[in-house]
Amino acid sequence: MGLWQIDTDTLARSRFVLSPFAETFASLKLLHAGAGKHPGEEAWLRAHLPGYRARLADDPVAALIVRAALGASWIADFFCPTSCEGESFEETVARVRAAGAREARDNLRVSLRGPLPAALERDDLPERAAALLTYVWDETVRPYWRRRRRILEADMVARTARVSQGGWAAVLDSLRPGTRWLGESRFQVNMNAYPPREVAAGAELLFMPVTPRAGWVSWEGRERYALVYPCLGVLAEDHDRRPAPAGLAALVGGARAGVLVLLGTPMSTTQLVAVTGQALGSVGRHLRVLLDAGLVERRRAGRSVLYVRTAAGDVLVKASGAGTREADTTGAHVTPS
């Protein structure tokens, strides 16, 4: 299993960060797989998979790079650099473009676990890889980035609240299948059979949510480590386009019904604002009405206040036909780089 040795000071300084590049790379992995994990992913693939495949047909070398770089248990390092906090997509992809030709070929041999196809024995691999990643960002991610950013921010709020409530161990155990805090400074990052890796004292340790059900680990030298994980399923699904049941909406109002349906999983006001796109004042008014009606209740998690449906709220949602939805945190197979 992949194991990182992390001292307590490094873990205490770790943080959740947004990475447009990680979101783009996760989307590339989804396009490469060609099959979604839930209806939202399937709808996105129907919209963008034909264009992606046409793009690869026009550039067979790029198609070979993707197949070679996304190895069974390793991602070619040059193809997936570790984002810095606050780094734009353009800044990260510039590092892909700046990789050396020999470095790119060597990385691909590692991910392939063997020799390169003759068509990849060339010097423009970094430029072609950067161009393909830019296509994925421009055509399939950036049009949705505003909403995806809200969802990712909501996930980070939830994880941070859980740190306050149950400590880092509870969070690390829940990021995705294969991650576990084993105690004694040992963090299992995946199930791959690699030697333990010591995270240097003082290194950056970053946790990056993505909306596709994908994940991986990466590092830059000894100074920066990242674990990319799929955000909470209840947040990742396409709530903006799924209306609340008509009967429930008629009873309590459409926007308020949507909030009640979402609160099958505890959320903060900030999360609800992020996921629904409603104004803070509107969300606050909906919560007050639902609290007064006994349909939701407040719970404190460290310094955060979370809201969740009561038993009465569950009955009302079930009776309306919406059912209760639990967070699905099943992730894809993780490949480290």
Amino acid letter for position 248: L
Tell me what pLDDT residue 128 has. Answer: 98
Instruction: Report the percent of the chain where pLDDT is more than 70.
Output: 88
* pLDDT mean over 48-66: 98
**b (16+ CB within 10 A) / e for 284-320:** eebbeebeeeebbbeeebeebebbebbeebbebbeeb
Residue 20 has pLDDT above 50, yes or no: yes
Residue 292 has pLDDT above 80, yes or no: yes
Is 199:225 a contact under the CB 8 Å cutoff?
yes
- Dihedral sign for Cα atoms in the order 60, 88, 221, 227: negative
Residue 32 has pLDDT above 60, yes or no: yes
Q: What is the pLDDT of residues 147-175, one digit of tens each?
A: 888 888 878 877 887 787 778 888 898 88
Residue 15 has pLDDT above 50, yes or no: yes
**Nearest alpha-carbon partner for 316 in 294, 297, 299:** 294
CA distance 322 to 36: 23
Q: What angle do CA 155, 158, 163 make, to 5 degrees?
A: 125
Tell me what pLDDT residue 48 has. Answer: 97
* pLDDT mean over 242-250: 65
Tell me what pLDDT residue 159 has. Answer: 82
Q: What angle do CA 3, 175, 169 make, to 5 degrees?
A: 70
- pTM greater than the 0.85 cutoff: no
Instruction: Report the percent of the chain where pLDDT is more than 90.
Output: 50
Residue 233 has pLDDT above 80, yes or no: no
Of 82-96, 183-197, 207-221, give the lowest mean pLDDT range: 183-197
User: How would you write the chain as a 3-class SS string?
Assistant: CEEEECCHHHHHHCEECCCHHHHHHHHHHHHHHCCCCCHHHHHHHHHHHHHHHHHHHHCHHHHHHHHHHECCCCECHHHCCCCCCCCCHHHHHHHHHCCCHHHHHHHHHHHHCCCCCHHHCCCCHHHHHHHHHHHHHHHHHHHHHHHHHHHHHHHHHHHHHHHHHHHHHHHHHHCCCCCEEEECCEEEEECCCCCCEECCCCCEEEEEEECCCCCEEEEECCCEEEEEEECCHHHHCCHHHCCCCHHHHHHHCHHHHHHHHHCCCCEEHHHHHHHHCCCHHHHHHHHHHHHHCCCEEEEEECCEEEEEECHHHHHHHHHHCCCCCCCCCCCCCCCCC
